[in-house]
Structure 1
Amino acid sequence: MNLTPNSKVVIQGFSEFISATHVAQMIAYGTNLVAGVNPGCGGQKIYDLPVFDLVEQVVDKFGLIDTTIICVHPYQVLDAALEAIASGIRQIIIISPGVPPLDMVQLLRKAEAKETLVVGPNSPGIIIPGKILLGTQPSEFYTPGSVGIISRSTTLTYEIARELTKAGLGQSLSVSIGSDAIVGSSFIQWLQILDEDDATEAIVLVGQPGGGREEAAARYIAEAIDKPVVAYIAGINAPPAKHWRQTGTLAAVIGRHPDFGSAKSKLAAFSQLKVPVAERPSQIPQLVRQVINK
């Protein structure tokens, strides 16, 4: 990964998923946002960024780009991401929600072959407080520190950062892996990254109903993670027969336990493996302090 203030960043697409405020916030935070890509708009400026028709034109002018932030409409995400990979970009953040699942399957196969990190879709991105902001997370909720946040949610990600900041606990890195049915990087990948990160002392994992990602993460924490982890599962009172729109499974699940994908199942997985679980976001700072002091 290359997530430093010197990392060169490009935005692909200017749709309703990103605004002038988001772009200005990234630039003000020190993110090295060099250009935008919007076919048919080459030579123009959008949100004070020079705009090119193709990613390869940006690479020709600025050299190798480290990260692209994709904000095109969902059915254009696959083409945009494949164009980025073909131009040598190895970190992709997809803000757009609702990317067709088969498009994501195709993209992830290509990304794996090219060793490309994909965050999202339906993600507000990544922030390393005090260093770099990639996406739409509100930087004012963050402060530099030693608590890493990995989340499936969007707004909950920075709500929890705000709770930590209010309690005097800064953050080392915060990432929302995205809440579409199929996403790129996983809880497990980011747990490993933060476990190996010298700046991170403790990890907060934020899950929600749908799928089995949290259960897999709980097993991985028990088997391979040395740093303390605190979990929070949203949607405990969600109707068990319903799937959240953005996190629902791809099809009806046959032959699995009736609780599969429920908040109850996720809470049980963490409890069995003795990972502390907060009942509400405001309880997270207290649990983080407890696990750090141990």
Structure 2
Amino acid sequence: MTILVDHDTRVICQGMTGWAGTHYSAAMLEYGTRIVGGVRPGKAGTRHLNLPIFDTVAAGMAETDANASMVFVPPSNAAAAMIEAIEAGMPLVVALTERVPVRDMIRVRDALKQGATILVGPNSQGVLAPDVCKIGVMTTGRARRGTIGIMSRSASLTSEVIAQVSDAGLGQSTTVGIGGDAIHGLGMRECLELFLADQDTRGVVVIGEIGGSEEEELADFVAAVKPRIPVVALIVGRYAPIEHRMGHAGAIAQGLAGDAESKIRALQAAGVIIAESPHLVGATMREALFVTA
């Protein structure tokens, strides 16, 4: 099985008519994702990529029965697009936009409290269930259907870990780019809960980095529930300078808070298996599965 998406996922693209929306929507259609329309205010009644365009998310949902939205809207308007989808009752929203202002994301976070929408992102690579559904910008050449769930804060390392897990003969059930921004939707703990509820996911890889406290919160959850399947973590940024921003809004360690070593210690204490280097993730998970078999 998968988490978040499946063969019945019907996607509309907010911002489809822009360059990014066009380019990635076309790639997703080629992969087999069921994109059923796009949203661009003022262009209702037109077609793009041979799909209908709507003025609003609500109109798109009413006409197409869409149950997922992806956001390719520029940073200045991305929060408004997310809130529109949340208020329309969209079950899943995947926000790919980078550099959404933190103040705007506070409004999005408040909107999420009023409904049942699951938000992935922003600054997310998306969600990929190999041979089932792709929402976002992940590469698919090395992805293979399998039994390992992957959740990641790092875009570049996601592709590397997917390749390793595939080369190890394990494949992926679902890969989720939760996003690296300081304020975002679905977190590591919630994502692991979804993987644990999926009977076909036999192991989970966590790709973490400096900044924030998500890895520590995940460690508390793992210690409390003692998962039946192995959890392997790769935490990067061990040699990152303190109080220097690294790449994006979430990646900054302040003093002893949010640094890589403290995250690793917390996860190890909870029973999470640490991959000592990015090139060892696939082998570490394969060994962990053999030990627990």
Q: Corresponding residue for 1:164? A: 165
- Structure-to-structure mapping, 1:1-294, within 5 angstroms: 3-14=5-16, 18=20, 20-63=22-65, 65-224=66-225, 225-248=227-250, 258-294=255-291
Q: Distance in 2 between matches of 1:265 and 1:15?
A: 44
What is the TM-score of this pair, normalised by structure 1? 0.91
Q: Distance in 1 between matches of 2:161 and 2:19?
A: 22
CA deviation after TM superposition for structure 1 residue 75, in Å: 2.0
Q: Distance in 1 between matches of 2:262 and 2:50?
A: 47
Q: Which amino acid aligns with 1:165?
A: S
Other structure's SS at 1:271 match: helix
Query: Over residues 224-253 of structure 1, what are the superposed CA-to-partner deviations in whole Å (9 max), with x where a residue is unaligned?
Result: 133210000112221123122414479x96
Cα 1:44–1:155 change in 2 (3 A) is: farther
Q: Distance in 2 between matches of 1:88 and 1:119?
A: 15
What is the TM-score of this pair, normalised by structure 2? 0.91
What RMSD, in angstroms, separates the aligned Cα atoms of the two structures?
A: 2.1
Contact 1:18 1:136 in 2 (8 A): no
Query: Over residues 92-123 of structure 1, what are the superposed CA-to-partner deviations in whole Å (9 max), with x where a residue is unaligned?
Result: 11100111222222212222221110100100
Contact 2:180 2:250 in 1 (8 A): no
Cα 1:231–1:5 change in 2 (3 A) is: same
Q: Which amino acid aligns with 2:103?
A: L
Query: Over residues 159-215 of structure 1, what are the superposed CA-to-partner deviations in whole Å (9 max), with x where a residue is unaligned?
Result: 210111122220001001101110111100011100110110000000011111111
Structure 1, 81-90 or 141-150: larger mean CA deviation: 81-90
Cα 1:13–1:261 change in 2 (3 A) is: same
Other structure's SS at 1:80 match: helix
Contact 1:94 1:118 in 2 (8 A): yes
CA deviation after TM superposition for structure 1 residue 47, in Å: 3.8
Provide structure 2 residue ranges, at least 5 long, that are not aligned to the other structure. none
Q: Distance in 1 between matches of 2:40 and 2:246?
A: 32
Q: Distance in 1 between matches of 2:18 and 2:136?
A: 13
Query: Over residues 15-37 of structure 1, what are the superposed CA-to-partner deviations in whole Å (9 max), with x where a residue is unaligned?
Result: 87825442222112221100111
Contact 2:89 2:117 in 1 (8 A): no
Cα 1:289–1:82 change in 2 (3 A) is: same
Other structure's SS at 1:193 match: helix
Q: Distance in 1 between matches of 2:186 and 2:260?
A: 21
Q: Which amino acid aligns with 1:171?
A: Q
Query: Over residues 39-77 of structure 1, what are the superposed CA-to-partner deviations in whole Å (9 max), with x where a residue is unaligned?
Result: 1233333344332222222123223x2110011011212
